[in-house]
Amino acid sequence: MIRFECDYTTGAHPKILEALVSTNGESTPGYGVDEHCEHARDMLRALCQTPDAGVHFLVGGTQANTTVIAAILRPHQGVLCAETGHINVHESGAIEATGHKVLGLPASEGKITAGQIDLYCQEHFDNAAWEHMVQPGMVYLSLPTELGTVYTLAELEEISAVCRRRKLPLFVDGARLACGLAASDVTLPDLGRLCDVFYLGGTKAGLLFGEAVVITNPNIDHDFRYLIKQHGGMLAKGRLLGVQFEAFLEDGLFLDIGKKEVSQALRLRRAFEEKGYPLFVNSPTNQQFPVLPDGHMAALEKNYSFEVWEKTDEGHTAVRFCTSWSTADGDVDALIADIQKL
């Protein structure tokens, strides 16, 4: 079985693993206040051109999303996001468990627009019963989205401008940001400039685990470590995150991994397109969503694992293929050959 079901099927990129092994015997303080974490923080602040940002390393994405959102909202506020957003669909109600409604907006290929955000706020405050409704209190985007699509810099700038005018903190979930940087015109300094909070995901880009949360808004950063602890995210051997991010950020490894994930995925995409399969969504990143005839899907399932996304009509199904840091050229070659044979 060759696995394309997700981007976390294997362990760590060799450089990450090597960093963990070589530092294994060191003795450092716990909870992320060691020198590796401090160094990795400085590296990331420099890359983002945000010298005063708070940087916090967390183990996973749901933890990051929950902790950040809980830190931002007052009790009567909710978070605006695409109705397909991860926090709205695939976190088992983690946001609601902190007391907040997720305010899902209709999404186009996983994306929402500045105009939608603005209109939602307008209609909220124009409604005579406004105090009886959940107040929009922040905006959550994913870059790339859950469907692999990306926001352009122009779109992100427009969203950021509306958020600032509406006093809504903007939070970008970067679980797959390494791919997003490879496939969009958005850069880390852009994110540092336009967001209140964002994170650079490691789990889906070659770390064993880890997400680096960058907080440029000091009101949100204030006391943030209490919230990390409260949400179970204060890793005892916290330096494991610092050590991995040092290696990830060193010499642009994160960019290289992102580029490689994307290039392997685009090879698959071309094969699907050449075969004449429609694409469920126009994704430029490491998730590809061809719509397969059900018979072809069944044929591929014998040797490849991938995710069934949704039935598009009688006889066809959209599926998801993911590439990762460890996707081997040979595995992609094999799959492409098998696609051509269908």
| Interacting span for a copy of itself (CB under 8 A) from 35-43, 164-172, 231-239, 294-302 | 231-239
8 phi/psi in degrees, rounded to 5: -140, 40
Query: Would you say 181 and 188 are in contact if contact means Cβ atoms under 8 Å apart?
Result: yes
> Which C-beta is closer to a copy of itself: that of 72 or that of 163?
72
Phi-psi region for residue 341, left (φ > 0), alpha (ψ -120 to 50) or beta? alpha
Calculate the CA 65 to chain-centre distance: 10
302 binds a copy of itself (CB under 8 A): no
Query: Would you say 80 and 107 are in contact if contact means Cβ atoms under 8 Å apart?
Result: no
To the nearest whole angstrom, how small is the minimum distance from the Cβ of residue 60 to a copy of itself?
Answer: 6
225 binds a copy of itself (CB under 8 A): yes
To the nearest whole angstrom, how small is the minimum distance from the Cβ of residue 194 to a copy of itself?
Answer: 25
Distance CA 306, CA 298 (A): 11
Q: What is the rounded (10 degree) CA torsion for 241, 247, 248, 251?
A: 150
330 binds a copy of itself (CB under 8 A): no
6 binds a copy of itself (CB under 8 A): yes
| Residue 26-65 contact track with a copy of itself, rule CB under 8 A, x = bound | xxxxx----------------------------xxxxx--
To the nearest whole angstrom, how small is the minimum distance from the Cβ of residue 244 to a copy of itself?
Answer: 11
- Could you tell me the CA-to-CA distances from 247 to 18, 43, 63, 203, 206 in Å, in that order? 9, 10, 22, 14, 11
Single out the residue of 178, 271, 326, 335 in contact with a copy of itself (rule: CB under 8 A). 326
92 binds a copy of itself (CB under 8 A): yes
Query: Would you say 331 and 2 are in contact if contact means Cβ atoms under 8 Å apart?
Result: yes
Q: Write the DSSP assignment of 302-338 as a string of letters.
A: TTEE-EEEEEEETTEEEEEEE--TT--HHHHHHHHHH
74 binds a copy of itself (CB under 8 A): yes
> Which C-beta is closer to a copy of itself: that of 156 or that of 322?
322
Query: Would you say 191 and 47 are in contact if contact means Cβ atoms under 8 Å apart?
Result: no
Question: Can you list the positions of beta strands (E) in the chain?
Answer: 2-3, 54-58, 77-82, 102-105, 135-142, 170-173, 197-201, 211-215, 287-288, 291-293, 304-305, 307-313, 316-322
Single out the residue of 24, 106, 276, 341 in contact with a copy of itself (rule: CB under 8 A). 24
Those residues with Cβ within 8 angstroms of residue 101's Cβ, 6 or more apart along the chain or in another chain? 78, 79, 134
**How many chain residues interact with a copy of itself (CB under 8 A)?**
75
To the nearest whole angstrom, how small is the minimum distance from the Cβ of residue 229 to a copy of itself?
Answer: 4
> Which C-beta is closer to a copy of itself: that of 189 or that of 232?
232
Distance CA 165, CA 162 (A): 5
Single out the residue of 38, 109, 133, 217 in contact with a copy of itself (rule: CB under 8 A). 133
208 binds a copy of itself (CB under 8 A): yes
To the nearest whole angstrom, how small is the minimum distance from the Cβ of residue 187 to a copy of itself?
Answer: 26
* Pick from 259, 268, 240, 249: nearest CA to 337: 268
83 binds a copy of itself (CB under 8 A): no
| Interacting span for a copy of itself (CB under 8 A) from 105-113, 252-260, 276-284, 301-309 | 301-309
To the nearest whole angstrom, how small is the minimum distance from the Cβ of residue 311 to a copy of itself?
Answer: 11
Single out the residue of 187, 203, 217, 263 in contact with a copy of itself (rule: CB under 8 A). 203
90 binds a copy of itself (CB under 8 A): yes
200 binds a copy of itself (CB under 8 A): no
| Residue 135-164 contact track with a copy of itself, rule CB under 8 A, x = bound | x-----------------------------
